[in-house]
Structure 1
Amino acid sequence: MRGKARRAGAAALALAVTAPMLSACFEEPSAHEAVRDFLIGWQTGDYDYAARRTDGDEKAVGKALENATFDLDAASFRFTITGMRRAADQVEADFDAEVDLGENNPLWEYQGKIPLHLVDGRWKVRWSPSVLHPKLAEGQRFAVDVDPEGRQPILDRNRDPLQEKAVLHVAQVVPANLKDGEAEKLCERLSRITGFPQDRLLSRIRSAPPNVQVPLVTFGRTRFGQLSADLRAVPGITLTEQEQELAPASPKQIVGTVTAVTQEAVQQLGGPQRAGDTVGKTGLQEAYQEHLTGSTDTRVITVDLKTLKEVAELKKWQPDRSTAPVQTTLDRAQQKAADAALLGGPPGMLVAVQASTGDIRAVAGTEEYDQERHALAGKFSPGTAFSIMSVGGMVRAQIDPKQKLSCPADRSVGGAPFHQEGSPAGTSPTLQANFANGCVTALASLARRIDGADLAEEAAKFGIGAKWTLPLKAFSGVTRPLTGDAATAKAIAGQNVLVSPLSMALVAGAVASGTWRPPVLVTDPKTTDPTTDAEPPKPPDPIKLDDRTVRTLRTFMRAGVTTGSARAAAALGDPVHGITAAALQKRKPYAWFVGWQGDVAVAVLMQSSDPSAGAAVAGRFFQGLQATP
C-alpha cells in the first residue's frame, strides 16, 4: 500500500481458501501448497517467494509479478482458491482475484487458472503470463485507462455559474516517449520540485496506456510561477494550460476556492484524489467535493509491448455516480448590489434573504470580515435590534404603542446600568418612537413588564437558538437564562445575547412575511454526501408569528425608516421597514440595520460609531436592487 489515498481495506492481507480438505484429494498435498504459496507471495508483495513456486526464471517471474502491480497501479490483490483438478501428473487450480485499483477506481474481480506439474518430484506452477490473467499473453502488459469527468460548477438560483475562468498549468507526459529508466528519473526530479510522492507519480505513468498524455501534477498561477523554471528543465515533461471555471465569483468565501491536489492534500483527505486532480479547499467547493468531482470511466486493458497498441479490454466500469452541479439560492444580481453597497464605507457585512422562503440571496463583507465565519457564523451583540423579540411581550402586556416612555441619558434596571448616547433630554417619546430610534434606556425599562421566560420564548419563535442544517458553518444565536429584571433588560438591549447577521436577516424576514423560516443555501443536492441514501437532516419547521405582534412590529419598523434613526435606508420602490441599533463588543462599536423591502430582508452590521452606518448601507443595497432585473 502506497500512501493514505489507498483504500483502508488494502491493509487487510489474508489469503482466503474456500476449498476445504483439498489436500485430501491428492496423494501429494504439495500441489495445493504450491498454489497457496504462490498466491500468498503475489498477494503480499513477496514476489521472490512466489517465483520460487514456479518453473520459470525466478528473477523474470518476480519482475512480472511486480510489474503487474505497477501496471494496474494496484493498492492490493486478494485471492481465493476455488477448486483444483488433477489428470495424471498435471494439476489445474481455479482462483478468484480481487484487485483494488485504488484512487476512486472500482474493485476488479476476475477468475484465473493456475496450471501445475511435477518438476523433480515437486509441484511447480507452470509459468506464463496467462497465470496473471487468462487473456494476458507473452509480450503484453496490463494498463488502466481512466477518463475522469470534469469538475462541475456551483450555480446561483438562476443556474448562472458562481465561478470565473482560471488558467491551470498541467505537467504531462506520454509514457511511450520515455526510454528505459527515464520515467524513474523524471518522477524523482518532479517529486523534488513539487513534493508529491515519487512512487505515486511513477505508478501513474506505469499504469497508463503508453500513447496517451498522462497529467501528473496541476498548478495554479501562483504556484506555477514559482516552479515553472524548474519544471521546464525536466526532460520529458510537457507543460500545457487548461482554462476552467474554477475561480470563485462573489460571494467568494461562500462559493469557496479550488486547488490542485498536493502531497499534503492527499494525506489530509485520505480519499480518491491524486496528483493532477482538483479539490475544494473552502466553502461549498469543499463541502460538495464528491458531488462536484464524481468518479471516472475506468477500463482495464492489455497493451502490446512492441506496437504499444491496445490488444483487449478486460473490464470496463461506468461511473457509479455522476458529477453534478450544486444549485444554490444565491442571486448574482443581489450579490452585486450587496458588494457595491459596502464599497467605500467602514468595515462590515450584509446578509440578504428572501423573506417568504428563508433562501439566502447574498452574503457580502469587506476584507476585514469573512463571509462564512462572520456573516453566517459570527457571534455578535445585537444591541437594541434584539428588542424586536420583546414586542410580543409588549402586546401581551397590552402596552400602548403611543404610551409616553422617557428616554433619559442614563437609567438603572434591576441594578444594571444603561446609557443612551445623544438622548433627547427632557422629552418623553412614545414607545413606537423609542423603538424606531433604538433608545436603550427606554426599551430596557420594559423589563419590569415583560417576563424573562416569555422573552426567551419569543426569541425562539424568531429562530434564535434553532438547529440549522446548512452545509457551511452558521450560528442561529443564543440567549442565556433570563432571571430577574436586570437580565431581561440586558436581553432587550442585546447585551447578554449573541446573534449572527444571518440570524438577524431571518428575523427581519419573519416580520416581513409573518412566519419565521429556516435558512436555505443549497437546494440540490439534498445532502453533502453522495454515497448515502439516508434522508438528510430535517430542518426546523417554519414558525407562524402572532398576527398582532407582526402588525405592531411592521408599524414600529416602518417608523424606523420614516421618522426614526433608520431614515438612511429609505429607497425607491416598495416601502422600506427597519431599525438601527448600536452595539459594543470587545471595545469595538458596531451599527446594525435590520429590515426589509418587498420580499428581500437584510441584516447589515458595520464596525462604526455612527448608528446610521448600517442603514446607509442598506439604503444603497435597496437602491442597487432597483437597477437589476
Structure 2
Amino acid sequence: MTGKARRTVAAALTLAATVPMLSACLEEPSAHEAVRDFLVGWQTGDYVAAARRTDGDERTVSKALEDAKIQLDAASFRFRVKAVRRAGDETEADFDAEVDLGENNPLWQYTGKLPLHLVDGRWKVHWSPSVLHPDLHEGQRFAVDVIPEGRKPILDRNGDPLQQEATLYVANVVPATLKDPVAVCEQLSKITGFPQDRLLSRIRSARPNVQVPLVTFGRAKYAQISDKLAAIPGIVVSPQKQPVAPDSPAQIVGTVTAVTPETEQQLGGPQRAGDTVGRTGLQKAYQEHLTGSTETRVITVDLKTNQQVAELRKWRPSRSTSPVRTTLDGPAQKAADTALFGTTPGMLVAVQASTGEIRAVGSTKEYNQEKDALAGKFPAGTTFSIMTVEGLLKAGISTKQRLACPVERSVGGARFRQADPPGGTAPSLLGDFASGCVTALTALARRIDGTELTASATRFGIESPWTLPLKSFSGSIGPLRTDAATAKAIAGQNVLVSPLSMALVAGAAASGTWRPPTLVTDPKSPDPAAEAEPPKPPSPIKIDDKAVATLRTLMRSGVVAGSARSATAPGAPVHGLTAAATQNRKPLAWFVGWQGDIAVAVLMESADSTAGAAVAGRFFQKLNAGT
C-alpha cells in the first residue's frame, strides 16, 4: 500500500470514528449512517458503496464520483462532517471537503451540503451534481486550469540577459477532438518514457476545448522522434521560443533542458509540459527562483459547449519567480573571451577590486569555468610571494637588498630550480619579485616565520570560508613547520589556489582590503523556501598599509621591467606578477595583477611563463576599448 493510500485510509477511519459522535444530534441514527457511509465510500474510492446511500441510479452516481476524481486529477479527497440539521422528513448535513489536487498543486477546501430524505423508511442522500459541489449543476463537469509562468532570465549587472532564445517543441492535444485518448497516451508514452497514466490524467482534467501541452522537447530530441509524433492522431507540435540558450560565460550561467522523465523524478513529482529544468550552473542553483510557479484554477465546464461556466477557486502562484541578478559584466566578459580566443588552454577571472564582485569568468574549451576557474585547485607558483610581503617587512628585509638568482638552490633539503635566470650582477629583491625568481625568493624562508606567513595568507583570503552559489575554492596551505615547508610555500608548491582566489588576492593588493567574492546580488539565497537568513560572508580584511605600498611597487615593477611586460595596456598603470608552476606534468603560467579597479588572475597551460601576462594585456586593451 502506498503512503498516499495509507493516509487516505487513516483519514477514512478518523471520519468513521468521529461521525458517530453526531448521533446524539439526530433522532434517526440511520441518517448519520447514511452521511457516514456516503462520505467514507467517496473518500476511499468505494463509489458503489457510496452510491447505495443515495436515491440516484447506482451506476450513474458511481460514475459521477469517479469522474470527479479524474476531472480534478485529485490525489485524494478528505471529509469532515460539520453539522446535521433535521426539519421534518428532511435532513441536511454540512461537510468540509479537502481535495489534494496533486503533488505540484494546492489543496482545495470547500464546504458542501448533503440533502437527505427518507426513502422506504431509510435515509438516503438526495442525489444531484451539487452534492459534489454546491456550484456544480446538471450538464456540467469539473476541470482544472494550470497556467505556468515562463522561465525568468539570468541577468548581468547592467540588467542584460545572459541567455538567448532557443526553440523548444511542445506536443499538444485538444481533448475534445481525441477519439481515443488512451491510445494517444499509450503511443506517446512509448516514445517519450513519460508515464501513460500521468499523460492521460492531464488530458482528462483539462478543459476539453483548449490545447493541452503534454511533453516538451529540445531541438535534438525532436529531430529524432518528429516522424513518430506525426503518426499519433491528435498530436499537434508547436514550436516555442524560450530564453534558455546560455550566453558567455555559458558554464557559469548554465544549461536548461525540457523536463524529461528522469528530471521529473528529480524535481519531486509531475511537472507540466513546457516546464524547463536547469541542469548546470546558476540555472540549476536557482531553479526554484527561475521557474516552477503556476496559477491554478478549478472551474466548471458546460458539457455541450465545452465553455467555462464558473470559477470555483483560483490560486495565484504560491511564490513568485524572479530573475537572478549577477555581478557579471557584459563588456568585461567579452573582453575575457576575446583575450583567450586562439590561445593555448587557459582561464581568466576578473573581479572588481573594491567590492569583490566577479565581473568575468573566461576559459578555453579545455577548462570548465565553474569547476576549474572558480573551484580548481592549482599550485600558486611564485604568485604566493605576494603574500610573503608582510613577513618580509616584519623581518626587516628591504626590497633593494641584493639577492642572487642562481639556477638551483636548496633550502632545508628542498631543491628549487630557476629556468633562465638573469645574468650579470646579483639583482635586487625588487627584480627577483618582478621576474618571479624562485631560487632567490625561497632563500628568504629562514628569515620568515612560517606561522606569520600562514597568517598573511589568511589575510589574503586563503582558506576563507566564503560561500558562493556555485562550487568554488578559496585555497589551502600546508603546515609550515620547517624551513623547507616555508620555502615550498614561497615557491607556491604546497599552496593550492583557484584563479578566483588569486584574482581576489590581486584585488586586495589593489584596494588595500581583501573582500570575499560575490556572484549573485539578488535573490539572497538559492532556496526560496529558506526561513533563515543565508550565512553571512566573511568580513573584509584590511591589509597593512606598508605592505600594500610595497606590493604596489613590486607589482608595478613586474609590468615595467619584469616578466609581466606583455600585460601593458593603455589607460591606468597595470600592476602584476607572473609565475610558473607545474601540475600533473603540465606547465602552467600565472599572471596576477590589476588595472584601475579591475583585478585579474590568468592561468595558462604553457611553458612560456609570460603567456598569462599576454592574455591579461589583451584583456585590459579590449576592456579599455569597450569592445
TM-score above 0.5, yes or no? yes
Check 1:122–1:492 CA distance in 2 against 1; reply closer, same or farther (3 A cut).
Answer: farther
Q: CA–CA distance in 2 between the matches of 1:34 and 1:495?
A: 83
Task: Indicate if the aligned counterparts of 2:8 and 2:43 stay in contact, CA closer than 8 A.
Answer: no
1:98-157, Cα deviation, whole Å (9 max, x unpaired): 122235432211001123344455444333221211111122110112222211111111
Q: CA–CA distance in 1 between the matches of 2:495 and 2:37?
A: 70
The residue that corresponds to 1:428 in the other structure is 426
2:234 is equivalent to residue 236 of structure 1: yes
The residue that corresponds to 2:568 in the other structure is 570
The residue that corresponds to 2:385 in the other structure is 387
Matches within 5 A, 1:467-506: 467-506=465-504
Paired residue for 2:620, among 610, 619, 622? 622
1:465-496, Cα deviation, whole Å (9 max, x unpaired): 11122111111111222211111111111111
Task: Indicate if the aligned counterparts of 2:329 and 2:359 stay in contact, CA closer than 8 A.
Answer: yes
Q: Give the stretch that moved more between structures: 28-37 or 312-321.
A: 28-37
The residue that corresponds to 2:249 in the other structure is 251
The residue that corresponds to 1:57 in the other structure is 57
The residue that corresponds to 1:43 in the other structure is 43
The residue that corresponds to 1:607 in the other structure is 605
The residue that corresponds to 1:199 in the other structure is 197
Matches within 5 A, 1:537-548: 537-548=535-546
Task: Indicate if the aligned counterparts of 2:275 and 2:291 stay in contact, CA closer than 8 A.
Answer: no
Q: Give the stretch that moved more between structures: 419-428 or 328-337.
A: 419-428
The residue that corresponds to 1:350 in the other structure is 348
Q: How far did residue 215 of structure 1 move?
A: 1.1
The residue that corresponds to 2:547 in the other structure is 549
1:70-114, Cα deviation, whole Å (9 max, x unpaired): 211222222222222234454322211112223543221100112
The residue that corresponds to 1:31 in the other structure is 31
Structure 1 unmatched runs, 5+: none
The residue that corresponds to 1:326 in the other structure is 324
Matches within 5 A, 1:105-124: 105-119=105-119, 121-124=121-124
1:478-529, Cα deviation, whole Å (9 max, x unpaired): 1222211111111111111211110110110111111111111111111112
Q: How far did residue 426 of structure 1 move?
A: 6.6
The residue that corresponds to 1:130 in the other structure is 130
Q: Give the stretch that moved more between structures: 587-596 or 405-414.
A: 405-414
Secondary structure in structure 1 of the residue aligned to 2:215:
strand
Percentage of matched positions with identical amino acids: 72
1:543-580, Cα deviation, whole Å (9 max, x unpaired): 11100000111111111111111111111111111111
Task: Indicate if the aligned counterparts of 1:16 and 1:79 stay in contact, CA closer than 8 A.
Answer: no
Check 1:58–1:416 CA distance in 2 against 1; reply closer, same or farther (3 A cut).
Answer: farther
Q: How far did residue 245 of structure 1 move?
A: 1.9
Matches within 5 A, 1:359-508: 359-424=357-422, 427-508=425-506
Task: Indicate if the aligned counterparts of 1:10 and 1:100 stay in contact, CA closer than 8 A.
Answer: no
The residue that corresponds to 1:140 in the other structure is 140
RMSD of aligned residue pairs (Cα, Å): 2.2
Check 1:612–1:391 CA distance in 2 against 1; reply closer, same or farther (3 A cut).
Answer: same
Secondary structure in structure 1 of the residue aligned to 2:577:
strand
The residue that corresponds to 2:333 in the other structure is 335
Secondary structure in structure 2 of the residue aligned to 1:21:
helix
Task: Indicate if the aligned counterparts of 2:26 and 2:84 stay in contact, CA closer than 8 A.
Answer: no
The residue that corresponds to 2:588 in the other structure is 590
Secondary structure in structure 1 of the residue aligned to 2:379:
coil
The residue that corresponds to 2:173 in the other structure is 173
Q: CA–CA distance in 1 between the matches of 2:247 and 2:49?
A: 57
Check 1:271–1:487 CA distance in 2 against 1; reply closer, same or farther (3 A cut).
Answer: farther
Matches within 5 A, 1:298-317: 298-317=296-315
Q: How far did residue 62 of structure 1 move?
A: 2.6
Q: How far did residue 207 of structure 1 move?
A: 1.4
Q: CA–CA distance in 2 between the matches of 1:166 and 1:264?
A: 22
Check 1:465–1:8 CA distance in 2 against 1; reply closer, same or farther (3 A cut).
Answer: farther
The residue that corresponds to 1:80 in the other structure is 80
TM-score norm. by structure 2 comes to 0.95
Q: Give the stretch that moved more between structures: 32-41 or 364-373.
A: 32-41
Letter in 2 for 1:330: L
Letter in 2 for 1:163: Q
Check 1:21–1:71 CA distance in 2 against 1; reply closer, same or farther (3 A cut).
Answer: same
The residue that corresponds to 2:155 in the other structure is 155
Q: Give the stretch that moved more between structures: 526-535 or 217-226.
A: 526-535
TM-score norm. by structure 1 comes to 0.95
Check 1:271–1:254 CA distance in 2 against 1; reply closer, same or farther (3 A cut).
Answer: farther
Matches within 5 A, 1:217-228: 217-228=215-226
Task: Indicate if the aligned counterparts of 2:77 and 2:100 stay in contact, CA closer than 8 A.
Answer: yes
Secondary structure in structure 1 of the residue aligned to 2:378:
coil
Letter in 1 for 2:50: A
Q: CA–CA distance in 1 between the matches of 2:402 and 2:326?
A: 47
Task: Indicate if the aligned counterparts of 1:353 and 1:360 stay in contact, CA closer than 8 A.
Answer: yes
